[in-house]
Amino acid sequence: MKFSSKTFVANKKKETATLLKKSLKKHSIMRPFILVCITVFLTQSCSDLVADLNNDPNNQTASAYQTILTGAEVGNILFQTGENARRAAIFAGQYTGIDRQHLGFNQYSVTTSDFNALWNDGFNDALRNAMVAEQTAINEVVGAVTAGITQVLQAQTFGTLAALYGDVPFDQAVKEEFQNPMFEEQITVYSKTQILLDKAILNLEEGTGRPATGSDIYFDGNAQAWFENAHTLKARFYMHTKEYDKAYMAAQKGISTANNSMQGPHGSAAEDANLNYQFFAIEVRQSDLIVSNFMSGLMKPGSLTYRGNSKTNESGRNNFYFTTNSIGVQPNITNGYAAQSAPSAMITYQENLLILAEAGYRANGFDTGLAHLNNFRAYMNAGGYLTNTNASNILYDAYSTADFVAGGIENTDSIGTEEALLREILEERYITLFGQVEVFNDIRRTENETIVRVPVLPNVGAVLPQRFIYPQSEIDRNNNAPNPIPDLFDKTPINK
């Protein structure tokens, strides 16, 4: 294009002239108003453009009750059989921590933040999911059995939390409207847990509304199994509160067969393996935590404190539980207790049998206790819950009264006959419930029964730990958290 200075200048002049001319007109004040009108028009379209766009396409915002139920049950496995149980068993003298954090736990040197994760496991992974599962199942009108299952799961978590921490939130726990849930007294939590279990039992008795297949990973919705577990749980918590006659009654409706034991299923993938397997075999914590000399001494044939006798051969059970390596005695990670896909015990037939024995003895006397103990021994003599032993390593002949009389094989130190029976039952519980939270509960519950209790001694100092301490996370974030917080050695109310 040929440039012409004439047109260029002409254009410039014209521009100037136009601007001069037009700007003199008196629209000035009206102009903004015209634009304001456009504004109003545009405002309308503004919010429509951005609506409904913030729904995360990568994540679901709702879930069916089945998958929540599964999540709750997996969370429950973690809470009941993971570090929570291991730490309880350290305090109960079954494990010895020899390095890193577990050395500290072994020395009873704990800080509030050591319990952050455990508290979280209980409230977030187990309890919250069970409650959401219940609510979702109600919304979806699934039916009574499903509701009952979710209630048993909640009660199981509440009871365990109350046993370990004492006062915990109950009514205000996991409710959106309570950002600072009130803590309730331990005994109240227990009684409300019993009520919750009663509700669950009513639901389970209805027999309808089983969860869709595959979603209940413990019993696949078998209402009878859940019914029995609810009763064993009731019995367990009555044991905690020392209401032995109620415990005995509840246990009679409790788990009636090994098949109905509540156990966490495990597999061979990296992240569904037995948690003790993952802890000892994969996370190489064998150098941090070993089985205590006290525990292995009871079980190891030939040791000074071996609990076997002419009617009892524990070598099969010892092989199921333990192996020995260069560091010390370890849980059996190959084919026993802590094998990769070994089911992890939460509420078992064997526990129910032993509740019957102890509560039966305490409620109805020696004969009832002995009869039930012999039922347990008969079960064990047939292999019991052991999965890797041959019959030649097992012997659990029935005890007779004579065995408990002074000088008998179960009373070589000549205490009272009845006491000898109770002592054997308590020791049997200590062995049978190895590695579970329940042994810590037993140790604390029976601490004052000096003759019959399992004689666990403190690792340091003169007293045994009495509880888990409240976590730093709860102290920081919940205005209603107890203040001052009880010490590790302060007994919870039920054990005072």
Partner 1 sequence: MKFITKTLFFFFLFSFQMIQAQVTITGKVTDSQGTPIPGVSIIESNAENGATTDFDGFYTIVLKTATPSLSFRYLGYKGITILVDAKKEINVTMIEDSVNLDEIVVTALGFNKKKDNLGYASSTVKGGAVTKSGEANVLNALSGKSSGVRISRSSGDPGAGSFIQIRGLSSITRSSQPLIVLDGIPISNDVRGNSDRGGVSQQSRLNDINPNDIETLTVLKGAAAAALWGTQALGGVINITTKTGKYNSKLSVSLKTTYSLDKINVRYPVQTKFGQGDNGIYNQRARDSWGDLISDRTGGNDDFNTSGDFYAGQNGRVYYPVVNKNSQSLFNDSNFDQVFGDGYFLENNLSLSGGTAKSTMFFSLSDLNQKGIVKKNSDYRRSTVRFNAKTNFTEATSLKTSATYTRTASNRIRLGANSSGLYLGLLRNPVDFDISGYRGDYYASDDSAPIPNRHRSYREPLGADATATYNNPLWTINEQENKAKVDRFITNFEFMTAPTSWLRFIARAGVDHYSETKSEFITPGSASGAFTAGYIDQSTASNTMFNSDFIAKTTFNYKESVDGSFLVGFNYNSKSRNVNGVEGSGFIQFLDIASGIRDIDNTLIENTVVGSSFGQERTAGLYSSLSFSVFDMFYVDSTIRAENASTFGENSDKPFVFPSTSLAWQFSQLDIFKESTILSFGKLRASYAEVGVQPARYNTSNIFVSPSYSDSLGGSLNSGLFGNGSFVPSTNRGNVALRPERKKEFELGTDLRFFKNKLSIGFTYFGNTTEDVLLNFPVANSTGYSSIYTNGAAIENKGIELDLGYKIFTTNEFSWSVNANFTAVKNEVTDLAGAESLNLGGLSAVSSRAVEGEALGVLWGSRTLRNDDGSIVYDAYGFPEQDQLEGVIGDPNPDWQGGLSNTLKYKNFRLSVLVETYQGADIYAGTKSVMRDLGTWYDTGNQETADRNYFESNGNIINIGETFRGNIADFGAGPVALTESWYNGEGGFFGGGNDELYIEDGSWTRIREITLSYVWKSDWLKNATKLKSIEFSATGRNLVLWTNFEGNDPDTNLSGVSAARGIDYFNNPGTKSYLFSATFNL
Task: Kindly identify the residues of this chain, within the stretch 263-302, that bind partner 1 according to CB under 8 A.
Answer: 265, 267, 269-273, 275, 277-279, 282-283, 285
Radius of gyration of the chain (CA): 32
CA distance 360 to 354: 9
Q: Which of 27-35, 362-370, 384-392, 436-444 is the region at the interface with partner 1 (rule: CB under 8 A)? A: 27-35
Nearer to partner 1, 392 or 479 (CB): 479
DSSP H helices in 267-348: 275-277, 293-299, 315-321
Q: Is residue 18 within the footprint of partner 1 (CB under 8 A)?
A: yes
Residue 226 beta carbon to partner 1: minimum distance, rounded to whole angstroms: 16
Nearer to partner 1, 42 or 457 (CB): 42
Q: Among candidates 213, 223, 212, 68, which has minimal Cα distance to 144?
A: 223
Q: Is residue 364 within the footprint of partner 1 (CB under 8 A)?
A: no
Q: Which of 25-33, 307-315, 363-371, 414-422 is the region at the interface with partner 1 (rule: CB under 8 A)? A: 25-33
Q: Is residue 57 within the footprint of partner 1 (CB under 8 A)?
A: yes
Q: Is residue 75 within the footprint of partner 1 (CB under 8 A)?
A: yes
Q: Among candidates 323, 436, 314, 317, which has minimal Cα distance to 388?
A: 317
Q: Is residue 102 within the footprint of partner 1 (CB under 8 A)?
A: yes
Task: HSE, CB side, 13 Å, CA atoms: give it for residue 431.
Answer: 26
Q: Which of 213-221, 224-232, 419-427, 437-445 is the region at the interface with partner 1 (rule: CB under 8 A)? A: 213-221
CA distance 159 to 179: 22
Residue 160 beta carbon to partner 1: minimum distance, rounded to whole angstroms: 14
Q: Among candidates 320, 322, 343, which has minimal Cα distance to 394?
A: 320
Site for partner 1 in 29-48 (CB under 8 A): 29, 31-32, 35-36, 38-39, 42-43, 45-47
Residue 137 beta carbon to partner 1: minimum distance, rounded to whole angstroms: 14
Scored b (16 or more CB within 10 A) or e, 274-287 reads bbbbbbbbeeebbe
Nearer to partner 1, 162 or 251 (CB): 162
Residue 43 beta carbon to partner 1: minimum distance, rounded to whole angstroms: 6
Structure tokens at 97: 């921590």
Q: Is residue 226 within the footprint of partner 1 (CB under 8 A)?
A: no
Site for partner 1 in 466-485 (CB under 8 A): 471, 473-474, 476-478, 481
CA distance 125 to 153: 11
Q: Which of 78-86, 149-157, 247-255, 399-407 is the region at the interface with partner 1 (rule: CB under 8 A)? A: 78-86
Site for partner 1 in 304-343 (CB under 8 A): none
CA distance 167 to 333: 36
Site for partner 1 in 132-151 (CB under 8 A): 132
CA dist 6 to 16, 94, 479, Å? Answer: 15, 104, 83
Residue 45 beta carbon to partner 1: minimum distance, rounded to whole angstroms: 8
3-state secondary structure of 475: helix
What distance lies between CA 247 and its chain's CA centroid? 21
Contact pattern for partner 1 over residues 156 through 175, marking x by CB under 8 A: ------------xx--xxxx
Neighbours of 258 (CB within 10 A): 16
Q: Is residue 153 within the footprint of partner 1 (CB under 8 A)?
A: no
Nearer to partner 1, 19 or 451 (CB): 19
Neighbours of 230 (CB within 10 A): 31
Nearer to partner 1, 341 or 390 (CB): 341
Q: Is residue 496 within the footprint of partner 1 (CB under 8 A)?
A: no
Of the candidate residues 93, 159, 181, 384, the single one contacting partner 1 (CB under 8 A): 181
CA distance 282 to 335: 15
What sign has the CA pseudo-torsion 138, 140, 145, 148?
negative
Q: Which of 7-15, 241-249, 313-321, 378-386 is the region at the interface with partner 1 (rule: CB under 8 A)? A: 7-15
Of the candidate residues 16, 109, 113, 179, the single one contacting partner 1 (CB under 8 A): 179
Residue 219 beta carbon to partner 1: minimum distance, rounded to whole angstroms: 12
Cβ atoms of 298 and 306 closer than 8 Å: yes
Number of residues that bind partner 1 (CB under 8 A): 111
Residue 90 beta carbon to partner 1: minimum distance, rounded to whole angstroms: 12
Q: Is residue 5 within the footprint of partner 1 (CB under 8 A)?
A: yes
Find the distance separating the first CA and the last CA of the chain, reported in whole Å: 103
Of the candidate residues 99, 103, 108, 120, the single one contacting partner 1 (CB under 8 A): 120
Residues with Cβ within 8 Å of 364's Cβ and at least 6 positions away in sequence, in order, are 248
